[in-house]
Structure 1
């Protein structure tokens, strides 16, 4: 593949590095250049961050091509964004030939306290080892340039000019003209990090005053860390969570942008400052930023910030002039339109004559990669169904293969997936130690045969055999998808998180009722919305669903789905509910049996209005149901709530299950459903059924459920898998072995 530019970056960075990269990719696309993006998992970020949304949007929109690490590439220019991505050698051989190799230095080598931030000599050596050419160092600012040693490592050369951040002015509409508000709105935004804030509470209160009669302090990117840093926060500080979107609108609502950080932090450039200047905000900064932004900003010591603000409040003309200076500075020195000029001036890369045709004709398909989905599930089939939800959303070129302990494996096979059955030690009466050894061998054999790019494990329990198999191939990217609502007895499995590269937790509608052990680990996992195999709008319409199920007109249809019964005897509940329903002459019961129920012997309906069916996925036909009685396992609970099916929840309260009772309580107390416990409510089953079938009650539950705003977490998990299936790893030191 021949490219004008190959961008190489850790696409998970939340802040300015990714935003600056996105602007360059977009500018190159506008110039008609042929570019590609090779994603790296570097050593700096431990949290399982997803790809920055701006970069994903550019890939999805065709502005650049996703590059697989095994793709052979020839590029006029290879741009490595951020030095730390090459702190270690790459863990697999790549074939990239670069005419020019540029390392964009987004961070100083030494911070303000003199602490080394990265080993430049090691990075240069790794670059030369990997690409076979010398490295041009491109500092993003004079601050980064000045932190470099006078004598550069062998094979490194300093670019003659700084690789300053650029910004697309169309994305940053100017703040409306006019004087400041009363009270004055002072704001700032940054990723949530203590180093991005003044070191002392005294300085913080000088810079962001607590006088609510005069000031409103609006903070985008605040979190609990601010209370840890400063104690109780002033009442006029409005704390907003970090976000990737809505920043231009946030800035347009401010009067002043005021940004100060820790004494120990070295801000390489200040992307957020550039954004504030772009919208024309009067911006107040510490004096060390003056070489970067000149007269576009105003500079003051913390004790003088209020005085500077007062000056501009009392001089409307000076306020307007300073706003104009800010906008003009960004237009002259940092407009995205300057990127093409930079490329041509430094590297001779000119705009192609027939760029659109040329770029479209050179797009190449990505090589096929396997994704190995492994799951437990001897009792239910929720983990397997959740993995199928993700698998069906993977793009072309990623081939799902299933290895599962679920007896519902045939469901995956029937969908056309390759599936491998893994025995569980209880099913064959094997000693756990011996079984784990065999499990490790089975999984390793599968991994060796398939050579998957990603191993995705869905379960609560992580077995030693799984961890052992993964340890044999540290370059295989591994993900543990674990759902919330754990019992305390499951806490021990949390220690197994270290066996995986990333942990993903699907969301829980009843999150406020979850006080289990995973709640304490939220800062170490990638949180996504609740996951559904099918989305509510993918269901058959009511008429079509009833026709498929051969349901007569004029009857009230109730779905009965109480799980497999393998570990919690629901026969009494089923019989009691069934009788109460069939005692009503206008009711038909659709008794949906699990494909992995404990008793596989066929049983007979108790009457003509009792239908026994094996139906998967039953949610596809749920518009045919007027009501349902179900066990609130993760999948069924979220399907019925998000599908607005009026439901009586009967939780499975076995010790090894998740906290289904908490889900049902959330539904009951919020008006989203009804709760009946097996050992408490059975004597009153008639009253529960009467309430469930009351038209007013059903309408109320359906309306409450329909008001929930939701997106499918399966889409985000599929995106995460796609991004990490095409990633180059430098996050571990392969020179030390595995």
Structure 2
């Protein structure tokens, strides 16, 4: 593959580095350059982060190509963004060849207190090892340039000008003309990090005054760390969570942008400041920013900020002039339209003569990568079903393979996937220690044979055999998908998180009722929306579903789905519900049995309106149901709520299960469903069925369920797997013993 520019970056960065990179990719695409993006998993981000949405949109939209490490690439220029990603060597060889390589230094080598932020000689050496050419160092500002040593490492040379951030002005419309509001709206935005805030509370309150009669303070990117820094926060501080979208609109609603940070932090450039200037905000900064932004901003000590704001409030002409200066400065020095000129000036790389032909050129298929999905699931089917939901959403080029302890393995095989059965020690009455040794060998053999790019494990329990197998291949990217609602007895498994590169937690509609062990560590995991195998709008319509199930006209259908019964005896509930429902003359019960139920002996229907069926996925036919009685396992619970099926939830309260009772309580108290407990409410089953089948009750439950907002977390997990299946790793030091 021939490229004009190969961009190399840790695409998971949340802040200015990714935003600046996205602007360069868009500018290159508009100019007609053919580019690619090689993703690196660097050492700076320890917690799991997805690809920055701007970068994913550029790949999905065809502005640049995703580059696999094995793709043979000849690039006129390799642009590596941020030195931290080359703190270690690539842990694998790549197929990249280039004549010119630039390392964009987005951060000073030394902070304001003299602390070394990265080893420049090591980074240059690792770049030369990876690309085999001289390393041009591109500083994003004078702050970064001034922090460099007088003598650069061997094999490195400094570009004659700074690689300043650029911005697409069309994405940042000007603030509406007019004077400031009353009260004055002061704002700022930055990723949530205490280093991005003043070191002293007194300074913070001078910069962002607490006088609610005069000032309204809007903060995008705040969090609990602010209370840790400053104690109780003023009532006029509006704290908004960090976001990637809607920032332009946020800025347009402000009167002043005021940004000060910790004494120990060195802001290499200040991307958020550039965005504020672009919309024409009067921007107030500490004096050390003056070499970067000149007269586009106003500079003041913390004690003088309120006075500066006061002068602009009383002088509308001065306010308008400063707003215009800010916008003009960005247009003159930081417009994305300057990017092609930079390439030609520094590297003699001109725009392609036939830009349309470059854009129309065929994207090269990526190499096939295997993804190994492993799961436990001896009792139910939830983990395997969740993995199927993700596997179905993987793009072409990623091949799912399953290794599972679930007796429902046949479902994966019937879907056309390669599947391997892993026997659980209880199934063969094996000693856990010996069984874990065998499990480690089985998994290692699979990993050695398949050479997967990603190992995705879905379970609550993490077995020692899984950990041992992963330790044998530290370059294999591993993910643990663990659902919430843990019991306290599951807490020891939290320690197993260190065995994986990432932990992903699918969302829980009833999350406010979850106070289990995983709720304490959510800042260390990637949280995604609830996962469904089949989305509500993908189900058969009512007529087709009832026709398939051969439902007579006029019958009220109740689906009965109480699990396998392997660890919680539901026979009494089933019998009670059957009698209460079938006592009504116009009802029909679909008794949906699990493909892995404990009792495989055939049992007979109790009457002509009782049908025993095996459906998977039963949710596909749920528009045929008028109501349901189910155990609120993760999958069934979310399917029935999001599918607006009026439901009576009967939780499986076995100690080894998750907190199904909490889910059912959330549904009951919110009007999304009803709750009946086996050991508490069975004598009153007639009353529960009467309520469930009341048309007004059903209509109310369905309406509340239909109003629940939702997107499928399976899409997020599939994207995450895709991104990490194509990454080069530098997050661990391959030169040391592994």
| TM superposition score category, shorter chain reference | over 0.9
Partner of 1:80: 80
Task: Give how far 1:72 is off.
Answer: 1.1
Counterpart of 2:735?
735
Which residue number corresponds to residue 192 of structure 1? 192
Q: What per-residue deviation string (whole Å, max 9, x for no partner) do you get for residues 339-364 of structure 1?
A: 01001111111111222223432420
Deviations 1:449-497 (A, max 9, x none): 0000000000000000000000000000000000000000000000000
Cα offset, 1:604, TM superposition: 1.0
Once structures 1 and 2 are overlaid, which stretch shifts more, 656-665 or 354-363?
354-363
Structure 1 equivalent of residue 269 of structure 2: 269
Provide the rounded CA distance (Å) in 1 between the counterparts of 2:363 and 2:424.
Answer: 46
Measure the CA separation in 1 of the matches of 2:287 and 2:712. 47
Matched, 1:183 2:183: yes
Counterpart of 1:44 in structure 2 is: 44
* 1:440-455 correspondence runs (5 A): 440-455=440-455
**Partner Cα separation in structure 2 for residue 67 and residue 179 of structure 1:** 49
Aligned counterparts, 1:501-650, within 5 A: 501-650=501-650
**Deviation for aligned residue 1:95:** 2.0
Indicate the residue corresponding to 1:475 in structure 2: 475
Matched, 1:429 2:429: yes
2: CA distance between counterparts of 1:328 and 1:203? 31
CA–CA distance in structure 1, aligned partners of residues 367 and 348 of structure 2: 32
1:722 — aligned with what?
Answer: 722
Q: State the 1:99 CA deviation.
A: 1.5
2:305 is aligned with 1:305: yes
Q: What is the DSSP-based 3-state SS (H/G/I as helix, E as strand, rest coil) of the residue aligned with 1:401?
A: strand
State how far apart, in whole Å, the 1-side matches of 2:177 and 2:355 are: 40
In structure 1, what is the Cα distance between the partners aligned to 2:162 and 2:98?
Answer: 21
Alpha-carbon offset, residue 94 of structure 1: 1.1
Residue aligning to 1:215: 215
- Tell me what 1:293 maps to: 293
Instruction: Report deviation, 1:615.
Output: 0.1
Larger displacement relative to structure 2 (642-651 or 361-370): 361-370
Q: Is 2:346 the counterpart of 1:354? A: no
Provide the residue aligned with 2:326 in structure 1. Answer: 326
Partner of 1:69: 69
Structure 2 match to 1:234: 234
Pair 1:398-2:388 in alignment: no
Task: Look up the match of 1:28.
Answer: 28
Please give the residue correspondences for 1:94-113 in structure 2 after superposition, counting only pairs within 5 Å: 94-113=94-113
Residue deviations 1:75-100, cap 9 Å, x none? 11000000011100110011211121
After superposition, the C-alpha distances for 1:30-77 in whole angstroms (9 at most, x for unaligned) are 011000000000000001000000000000000000000011111110
Q: 1:693-732 CA distances to partner (integer Å, 9 max, x unpaired)?
A: 0000000000110110100000000000000000000000
Counterpart in the other structure of 2:148: 148
Range that drifts further, 506-515 or 346-355: 346-355
Matches of 1:443 and 1:356, distance apart in 2: 49
Distance 1:40 1:214 in 2: 47
Query: SS of 1:416's equivalent?
Result: coil
Residue in structure 2 matched with residue 345 of structure 1 by the alignment: 345
Rounded to whole Å, the distance in 1 between the matches of 2:182 and 2:588 is: 65
In structure 1, the partner of 2:410 is 410
Secondary structure at the residue paired with 1:337? helix
- Separation (CA, whole Å) in 2 of partners of 1:334 and 1:503: 39
- 1:254 is aligned to 2:229: no
SS in 1 for 2:39: strand
1: CA distance between counterparts of 2:357 and 2:676?
A: 64
Measure, in 2, the Cα distance between the counterparts of 1:550 and 1:509: 33
- Matched residues in 2 for 1:129 and 1:410: separation? 47
In 1, Cα distance between the equivalents of 2:560 and 2:362? 55
Length-normalised TM-score, structure 2: 1.00
Match of 1:629, SS? Answer: strand
Paired residue for 1:668?
Answer: 668
Equivalents in 1 of 2:361, 2:219: separation in Å? 46
SS at structure 2 position matched to 1:427: helix
Aligned equivalents of 1:459 and 1:261: distance in 2?
Answer: 42
197-206 vs 358-367, which moves further:
358-367
Deviations 1:496-527 (A, max 9, x none): 00000000000000000000000001010000
SS at match of 1:735: coil
How many Å separate the matches in 2 of 1:401 and 1:94?
Answer: 25
How many residues are matched? 738
CA distance in 1, matches of 2:60, 2:358: 19
**1:656 counterpart residue number:** 656
- Provide the rounded CA distance (Å) in 1 between the counterparts of 2:654 and 2:238: 44
Q: Distance in 1 between matches of 2:360 and 2:611?
A: 56
**Structure 2 partner of 1:678:** 678
C-alpha distance in 2, partners of 1:530/1:537?
16
**Structure 2 partner of 1:131:** 131
State how far apart, in whole Å, the 2-side matches of 1:272 and 1:593 are: 56
Tell me, in whole angstroms, the C-alpha distance in 1 between the residues paired with 2:520 and 2:675: 27
Cα deviation code 1:108-166 (max 9, x no counterpart): 00000000000000000111111111100000000000000000000000000000000
Counterpart of 1:373 in 2: which secondary structure?
A: strand
Q: Which residue of 1 aligns with 2:380?
A: 380
User: 1:638 and 1:544 mapped to 2: Cα distance?
Assistant: 23
TM-score normalised to structure 1 length: 1.00
Structure 2: distance between partners of 1:550 and 1:86:
63
Q: Distance in 1 between matches of 2:118 and 2:430?
A: 51
What secondary structure sits across from 1:217 in the alignment?
Answer: strand
* CA distance in 1 between partners of 2:736 and 2:31 (Å): 43
* Structure 2 CA distance for aligned equivalents of residues 414 and 152 of structure 1: 60
Indicate the SS of the match to 2:336. coil
Q: CA deviation at 1:737?
A: 2.2
Structure 1 counterpart of 2:692: 692
- The aligned counterpart of 2:159 is 159
Partner of 1:74, secondary structure, is strand
